[in-house]
Every structure is written in structure tokens, then in C-alpha cells.
Amino acid sequence: MNDTQVKAKTREEAEGLVDLDAPALASGDDIVVSKLNLFYGDFQALKDINIRIPEKKVQAFIGPSGCGKSTFLRCFNRMNDLVEGCRVEGQIILHDEDINSKETDVVALRTKVGMVFQQPNPFPMSIFDNVAYGLRCQGVKDKKLIQDRVEISLREAALWDEVKDILHRSGTSLSGGQQQRLCIARAIALEPEIILMDEPTSALDPLATSRIEDLVMELKGEFTIIIVTHSMAQAARVSDRTAFFLLGEIIEEGETDQIFHLPQDPRTEAYISGKFG
């Protein structure tokens, strides 16, 4: 193989253009996105998205505002279904099933795929009830099971020691960082496979941000985490793989170290170096 061929192969790998069925990447629990296009009326917001997201890793989406990161994130739990005039083409395969299929049980899907939003949004109820809410909605009535699951979830969200004596207090009484960890506990109480995080620290101070980032690192051994972030430093700290979006397209995707230190596309290099964004 000559130098030109080696360089081309490296570029294809970096841009995620290699065969998605390659043995090195294959896993039945990976998420495989193929030829995904999304339209709001006549406007095309996502263009021919192809990516494989490995299980129990942290996948970051970076790019300038309005480039399609959050829109793509909401494809994984079908939140875009709620937007009037939105139309999605292509496949998102999870466990050999296309979640975009008309036969998909969207309620069940959103149990498998938890979500944490940009602004902490605890329910106006007690800390305990915030975490127990989803379980009760699923019909769980065993009080001991609910109590155990609430404690486990708060422990996994690194919040138990701070709230174990005030579980009766309103979730909205907590600090911003605590509220966001409560929202994470609420998401993981349903034991999802995937957690979506849409700029989860953008409204938090540096200390709270650090706590959430540490938590992401701890949780990835149990969940597949997909995080949208405007902070390239955050993506570099917490993610295993990074995809760079621009104008609705994935320009480059690969191992985070490679994307930040040896980008193959000049547009990726320009964004990471701060020339635009």
C-alpha cells in the first residue's frame, strides 16, 4: 500500500466512511445510523447522516450553533415526532430494529433512551417523587422496590449523600448542579440503555460542571451516553468519540484524540482552532 492509499484509508476511517459491518466495530448493542435525513417542511436540517455509536462509550457531538447537533440527538428518542411538519428518512438501528419504523413503540423507546436537557427541569414535587415518578408511571406499585430504585439512582447520580435526609423537600429547592444530577437520577431510575445529554452543563458554574463531567465518566460503564456540547474542552475531557457537525452534515467522526489532535478535514481543524464557530 503506497502513501496515498494509506492517507486515503486514514481519512475514510476518520470520517466514519469505513464499512459499518467491519468486525472491529461490530456489536449488536451499537447504534447504527444509516442515510438519515430530516426535514422541517421544505428545509433540510440533517443531510445523509451515517454513524455507528458504540455501546457503553461517550459519543460527543460538536459544532457551531444551528448545525444540527441537538436535532440529531432528538432522533434517538423520537422527540422530533412532536415537531409539526418534521419528516425523517433513513434508519437508526438498535438491537437489529429500526426505531424509525411505524411499528416502534415510542413510549417503550423513551424508556430505553433517557434524556437530560440543557436547563435542569426537576418536577415541582419532592426529591424522592422526582426519581420515583417514572417508575410509578410504568405501573410499579411495590413500595420497597421503588424505595430501593430511588436510592440506587441517587447514588449512581452522586447525589444520595447530599439529599438522603431531605428527600421530602422539593426538587426545585436544590442548587442548579444538584437539580441536574437529580434529573440524571430521574433518567436512570428507569434503567435505560442510552442517555442523551443536550448541553447538560451550559447553565452550571464550573464546580457543578466538573461534578457532572465526573459523573458522565462514571456512568459510561453502564450506559451508552450521547452528549451535545458547545465546549470543545468538555468533549475532549469526557468523550471517547467525537463527531463534528456543520450545516446539517457530519464532516468528520472518530476517536476524540484523533479529532482534536489530527483532524483530517480542514473544516474540522478550522473549527477546533477557533477560526469560526
User: pLDDT tens-digit profile of 140-177?
Assistant: 999 999 999 999 999 999 999 999 999 999 999 999 99
Whether the per-residue pLDDT at 1 is higher than 70: the answer is no
91-114: pLDDT as tens digits? 999 999 999 999 999 999 999 999
Q: What's the per-residue H, E or C state across the chain?
A: CCHHHHHHHHHHHHCCCCCCCCCCCCCCCCEEEEEEEEEECCEEEEEEEEEEECCCCEEEEECCCCCCHHHHHCCCCCHHHHCCCEEEEEEEEECCEECCCCCCCHHHHHHHEEEECCCCCCCCCEHHHHHHHHHHHCCCCCHHHHHHHHHHHHHHCCCHHHHCCCCCCEHHHCCHHHHHHHHHHHHHCCCCCEEEEECCCCCCCHHHHHHHHHHHHHHCCCCEEEEECCCHHHHHHHCCEEEEEECCEEEEEEEHHHHHHCCCCHHHHHHHCCCCC
Mean pLDDT of all residues in the chain?
A: 91
Q: Give the tens place of pLDDT for each residue, 245-270.
A: 999 999 999 999 999 999 999 999 99
Q: Residue 6: is its pLDDT beyond 50?
A: no
Residue 4 pLDDT = 42
Q: Give the pLDDT mean for 212-217.
A: 96
Confidence band for 17, pLDDT divided at 50, 70 and 90: very low
More confident residue, 277 or 44: 44
- How many Å apart are CA 200 and CA 203, to the nearest integer? 8
Residue 21 clears pLDDT 70, i.e. is over it: no
Give the pLDDT confidence of 25-58 residue by residue, as tens digits.
445 689 999 999 999 999 999 999 999 999 999 9
Whether the CB-CB separation of 86 and 40 falls below 8 Å is answered with yes
**What digits encode the pLDDT tens for the residues 219-233?**
998 999 999 999 999
Query: In this structure, what C-alpha cell is assigned to residue 255?
Result: 476517536
Name the more confident of 183 and 6.
Answer: 183
Is residue 271's pLDDT more than 80?
yes
Greater pLDDT, 24 or 54: 54
How does residue 277 score in pLDDT terms, banded at 50, 70 and 90?
confident
Is 92 in contact with 99 (CB distance < 8 Å)?
yes
Query: CB of 209 within 8 A of CB of 27?
Result: no
Identify the pLDDT of residue 28: 63
The pLDDT value recorded for residue 27 is 52
Burial of 104 (0-12, 13-18, 19+ CB in 10 A): middle
Q: What is the pLDDT of residue 14?
A: 40
**Average pLDDT of 6-17?**
42
- Would the pLDDT of 5 be above 60? no
In this predicted structure, what is the pLDDT of residue 8? 42
- For residues 113-121, give the mean pLDDT: 96
Q: Return all residues near 243 (Cβ < 8 A) that are at least 6 apart.
A: 16, 51, 59, 60, 61, 62, 250, 252, 253
